[in-house]
Structure 1
C-alpha cells in the first residue's frame, strides 16, 4: 500500500475525511522575533524565535510547512523547514516515521507555541543584501497543497563594514601679532683685571677673546639692517674672597671701566648703557656647589644659605672645610668674577611670506610667533618644513601657550605622544587646549575621557569638537 492510500485509509479509520473543508486558519499566521543574522568570512548564521501559536486552530487533518529563505532577485537559499500539524496529521507522521517527513522538524499545533530557530549555511556574496522571507505552505489530506504565502521578515545588510577609527581634526591657534618686536641677546664675559685693581687692559691674558665676544654681540645687532639697537646693560660680579667692602669697590669700578671701554668702541651716547653690580656672586657659588659632588657638599651649602654676613660666611667655609675651600678658591672663584651683558633691540615686521619662510630656518629670533604661523599657511601640511616650522616656534618661544599647543598638534599628528603630552602641560587652559587634550586621550583609546573634554571644548566654541564627538559615536555604533 502506498503512502497516499495509507493516508486515506488511516483518516477513514479515524473519521477525519471531509472535516478539513471548514478550516479557516491563514498560512501567514507565523511571526518572527529576535531575528539575528550574522556572518563570518565563509558562513551565514540565522537565529530567531518563531511564534507558531497562530496555527493553534489548525484543522486536525491539515499541516503548514514554514521554510525560512534568503531571497535576492534570482538567487534563493532555502533553509531547513519546520512543520506545524493538526492533531491527526501530527500522529500520522509519528506513526509513519521520520523518513517520510517533508521537513526535519515537526510540531503539533497548539497555543503558546514558540520555537527557537537556528540554521547555518555557506555564505555567498549575494546574501549580503538579501531578504529573509518565511515561506508558509498549507497542505490538506495526504499532502495536497491548499495555499502558500511568503512573509517578509527582515531586510539584511551583511556587507562588510569599514572599520571606524579615531581620526581627529587638529585645531591650531593663531598667535597674536606683536606690535613691537622687542628682542635681546645675553652673554657673559670673563674679563681679567690685575689683582685688586679696576683698570682694564684689552691685551691682558684672555681679555682679547672676551672683549671680542661683547663686540661681536653688539655688531650682530648694530650692522643688521632689519633691527634697531635700543639699549645695553652690564652687570659686574666679584667673587666672595676678600672683604665685602673691597669687593663692592672692585665690582662697581670694573663694571664702570667695561662700560667706558664699550663707549670707546662705538659712538653710543652714555645713556644707552645702564650698569649695576653684585659685590659677591654667592648665587653663582650656590649653583656650582648644588650641582657638584664636592665632599661635604651639604655642609657647605648650609653655610652659603645661612643668614650670616658675607665676610663671616666666607671665613666659615674656609675654617670648617679648608681643603674644599682651597679647591673653590682655585677652581671656582675665578669664574664668579664676570660681567653679564644684555643687548636690547627691536626687529622690523615682515610681510613677505617667502622671506619669513627663509628666516624660520636661518634666523628665527627675528620672527614673531604670528609671522611664523602665517608662513605655515603657504607650506604643504604634509611636508617636513611645515612640521619643523612649528618645532622651531616652540624652541624660540618655549613658554608660549600658543607655541606649545601648536607643537603638541604636530607631535600628535606624528604619533609622538610623550612629546605631545609635555607640550600640552604648557599649553594653558584655552578651549583649543582642552580640545587638544581630548585628541590625545582619543588617540590613546580613552574615548570616555576624550568625549568629556570634547564636550567641554564644544561648549566653549571649538568647532572641531562637534566632529570629534560624532567620530566617537560612530566608533561606538560600529563596535556594537
Structure 2
C-alpha cells in the first residue's frame, strides 16, 4: 500500500508570554501527515524559535502536539522541551530531565533555532479529519506550571483516493418478435336460482355485460388471439349441482360474447370450478367473525365439499352471514383476453408513450428515447415510463438503474438492479459502479 502524504505548506505564528518580555513568538512550518504502510500515522513539523524568542535562563517551555477528533477522541504526542540555560544545567545535575531525550533542547537566546519534529502513532479512523493542536506550557522554578496556551495548527484531511468508475451503460432491450399481451378481468353475473341462461336486465347484469363489452370493443378483432373464461360457483348447494351451474353459466357467457362480436367458436375456451373454496378462505382470513378459526379449519380440511358446507351450517349465525355476504362474490367468471399489438416506429412510439405506453414494447420505448438528447427530461421520462409499464422487465430495470445513477440516486438504482438480469454486462457494469460509489461515500 502506498503511503498517503498530506503537506500543509503554511507558516504558523504563535505569541506567548515570557518572563523578561511581555510577548514571545515562534513559528510552525511544514506540517505533514503521512499514513504509512504499517497503518501508522507519521506527524512531521518544523518548530522555529526566532532570534527574538527570549526564554529566561531559569524557565522551561514545553510544546505538546495533541490530536483532537470530532467525537472528543484525543491522542497526545511526545512533547518538545526547551530549557533556559540555568534550568537545563540544574535539571541535568539533579537528574530531572524527561525520559525522552530526543526532543530535549537548550535555548540559545538571540539565535534562530530550528527543531525538525517527527513522530508516529497507530492510526485510527477518527484521526482522518482530526485537528492538531499545539499546547505550550511555561514552567518556572520548581517545575511550577505558570501558563498554558493552546493553538490550532491544522486539520488532518486525507485526500480521497481517485476511484476509477466504469461508465454508466444502458442496454438495448430485446425486441419482441410478437407483441403478445394478456388482459385479465372478472365479471359478477347474476342468475335466477338454478338457471344457466343470462338475462341481461336481471339485477346488475346490464352493468356487468356493459363492462365486458366495453373491454372487448377496446380491441380490434384481428388483434384478439384467444379468450379464456373460467367460471366459479359458490359452495352453497350440493357440489354436483354447483358443477352443473358453473359449467353452464360459463358456457352462457361464451355464447353471449360469440354472438355479440361475431367471433369464431375456436377463439373462446372455457373451464370451470364448481366451488370457489380458495376465494372462501381469503374472505375467512380477512374476517372478524368469532368462529373464524373453526371456519378456516373446515375450509382447509380435506373432506368432501358437501361435508364442509354441512359443518358450516352447524354455526347458523356465521353461516347466514357467509351466505349473504360471501357467497354472491364467489359466483364469478374470470376471463383472459390474449391479444397482439402492432409494431411502431420510434417516431410513433415517441407520441404514444405519453398517453398509451401499454401499446409499446420496452424496445420501442427505448428507441423513442434515442430520439431525445441523453439526460434530457423527455429522455428520462421515457426510461421511467418503460419500467413503470413493465416493472418486472429486466431490461427496463437495467435502464432505470442507469438513469438513477446518472441522477445520483444510489438507493433507487440499487432497487432497480435487484430486478435486472445480473448475467448481462450492462447490469454488472452498473452494479460495479454502484458498489464503488457506495464504498466511497463511507
TM bucket normalised to smaller: 0.5 to 0.7
Counterparts of 1:37 and 1:312, CA distance in 2: 84
Q: Does 1:324 align with 2:332?
A: no
Aligned counterpart for 1:171 among listed residues 160, 169, 172: 169
Alignment size in residue pairs? 314
1:277 aligns with 2:272: yes
Counterpart in the other structure of 1:46 = 30
The 3 A distance-change label for structure 1 pair 79 and 171 is farther
Between the aligned partners of 1:272 and 1:256, the Cα distance in structure 2 is 13
Aligned partner of residue 274 in structure 1, secondary structure: strand
Look up the SS of the partner of 2:225 in the other structure: strand
Change in CA separation of 1:79 and 1:366 when aligned onto 2, cut-off 3 Å = farther
Check whether the contact 2:251–2:270 (CA below 8 A) recurs between aligned residues. Answer: yes
Distance 1:209 1:42, change over 3 A: farther
Separation in 1, partners of 2:182, 2:354: 19
Q: Summarize the Cα distance change of 1:286–1:99 in structure 2 as closer, same or farther, 3 Å threshold.
A: closer
> Are 2:10 and 2:29, in contact at CA under 8 Å, matched by a contact in 1?
no
With 36-45 and 171-180 compared, the bigger mean Cα shift is at: 36-45
CA contact (8 A) 2:171 2:399 kept: yes
SS at match of 2:269: strand
Q: Secondary structure of the residue that 2:326 maps to in structure 1? A: helix
Match of 1:424 among 410, 417, 440: 417
1:38–1:45 Cα contact (<8 Å) kept: no
2:360 to 367, 374, 391: 367
Specify the alignment match of 2:202 in structure 1: 204
Residue 47 to residue 40, structure 1, CA distance change in 2 (3 Å)? closer
Shift of 1:376: 1.4
1:382-421 alignment, distance < 5 Å: 382-421=375-414
Structure 1 Cα separation of the partners of residues 412 and 312 of structure 2: 44
1:231 lines up with 2:229 in the alignment? no
Question: Which of the two has greater helix per residue?
Answer: 1
Deviation for aligned residue 1:318: 2.7
Q: Could you tell me which residue of structure 1 aligns to residue 151 of structure 2?
A: none
Indicate the residue corresponding to 2:336 in structure 1. Answer: 342
How many Å separate the matches in 1 of 2:321 and 2:419?
41
Equivalent residue runs for 1:25-174 within 5 Å: 38-39=7-8, 45-46=29-30, 98=108, 101=111, 103-104=112-113, 116=116, 169-174=167-172
Instruction: Mark the CA change 1:163 to 1:428 in structure 2 (over 3 Å): closer, same or farther.
Output: closer
Report the counterpart of residue 215 of structure 1 in structure 2.
Answer: 213
Structure 2: tracts of 5 or more residues without a match: 13-27, 33-47, 52-106, 119-157
Contact 2:387-2:396 at 8 Å conserved across structures: yes
Per the TM alignment, residue 166 of structure 1 is displaced from its structure 2 partner at its CA by: 8.3
| Mapped partners of 2:116, 2:218: distance in 1 | 88
Between the aligned partners of 2:367 and 2:347, the Cα distance in structure 1 is: 11
Rounded Cα–Cα distance in structure 2 between residues aligned with 1:420 and 1:260: 50
- Aligned equivalents of 1:219, 1:349: Cα separation in 2: 20
Match of 2:413, SS state, is: helix
RMSD between superposed Cα atoms in Å: 3.3
| SS class of match (1:303) | helix
- Contact (CA 8 Å) 1:238, 1:281: kept in 2 or not? yes
Q: Would you say the 8 A contact 1:37–1:46 is kept in 2?
A: no
Structure number having the greater strand percentage: 2
The answer on whether the counterparts of 2:10 and 2:30 sit within 8 Å (CA) in structure 1 is no
Q: CA deviation at 1:385?
A: 2.8
